[in-house]
Structure 1
């Protein structure tokens, strides 16, 4: 089993991935500054996995070199074995709201790019050269063809996507400059859902930026209605189509990717992680209504800048290269998301 550092491990995707890695028997150090997450998520992960002695939580900022150093040395102190070290890093930490990135671009370049630079610098100093990076389908911008393959043009249209593209380029430059690096760049589409227990899930700060948590909060009575951005798109029902992936399928993708990196020669993998199935906004609303047993009121508003009519992944490379594909459908995404929301109407603040 591997000794892993998980950055941003208390977040939505990070917490579910921590659970999957613990269930697989790995030892974890989690670093998080809790700006948009909660330490309660880690407490619940440990409880679900019954792994109280295999996860150490470090409160820290990846932009601060001393904090990253503290995370690396925490594992050694924990095990009292000075020859023990971090075998690999799973890198989630960063800012992720597209709209916010337009109003605060310095924050996004500072955290997402500078934080990644600092992390990689400390990794190199400690001889750790294996990393799985949390990238995003937003770097494809307006896709020229759908489904979108990994070799599609990189043309982000907002600072968030541009910061992800910059880190991907940094990783490529690093791999080209020095042998021995094992790197995976995983381009997510739209992670949703939650753990079926309802104990961990997505807990956005403030008004949600994404469809699923907004629908969930409307169903729970926290929001009056859902705003649907446009019903005049060139799609079958006029609403935008997206590729949704259950967060546990995404977490499993990280586990399989890491196993591939550690078992093969040094390389750089670039993979889309999506379902390959396009679902419209109104299809998602209808399914969530069926699952929660109540109507989801919505209103049609004007389109948002930067939205595309249809964004769907071509994830065939992930299936052929590492043997990964999604296993959960829309009903399960809605069911698990509602289990989380109904059990935690105000998220971890409960």
Structure 2
């Protein structure tokens, strides 16, 4: 039986999310309230296009219902954090049945601030709730660390899958073999690293997730983060990544078309280099939910995505609070494909 991960633009059955609870990421009542309001804004934006299930911690259902409204399903399970893209399963299908890859989750490379006692178990619990058999993997990996085109190509990052905190001792070939076996892909395109703000000492980073840097928009077409300002270290980072992508072919031998999406104009946030990125968007049925930053380039990015997805409604949602916690809209959502 061969499973493959459908691309994000394929039809969804629903979206899974996780409700913020008290933890090191949201360390006081004010931060937690802000996070919950931001997560709720994303959930309601997605709900316009497809069903949403929100997993919340014990005793937190009432606060969730208050902000989410009546038409988002709530499920209670123990949680450490709220990044469903990373802690949840990666759904795959053989065309007839749904299954769910349960990667090993260890707090984004066992980082000092992270907690994962409960989050390491949530993928299997979500798979069970979705009625999908769980496919165990021995690879430490997260959903934000992969992006597929649905036709055999996957984007990866050297500092993530090959990072010492995640998979010490694994070779590139071993990582690729496991990724291909679980996702049904045949070609990996490796990016050297992620954005500057995604690494220590800059807060709650993932150490280089690809979903803030580059993503497939359709087979053969990649959107890529571009930092036009030479004052920001990501100016050089994004130039290198865009150059690499422009030289690549996909699993079917097509030369990639790279659509550059300029970063917001703000260079610093929360006391460090901003990693604000429009690449961290979420495709749902007939919709694109796009990060906004109250920035002049919000509408520039929205225009790019409207041209890329003319049949979808582009919705801008303020993502600054989400980014201050270490991620974006893509990081807090996980699609369950329709079979």
Structure richer in strand, relative to its length: 2
Tell me the TM-score normalised to structure 2 length: 0.37
Structure richer in helix, relative to its length: 1
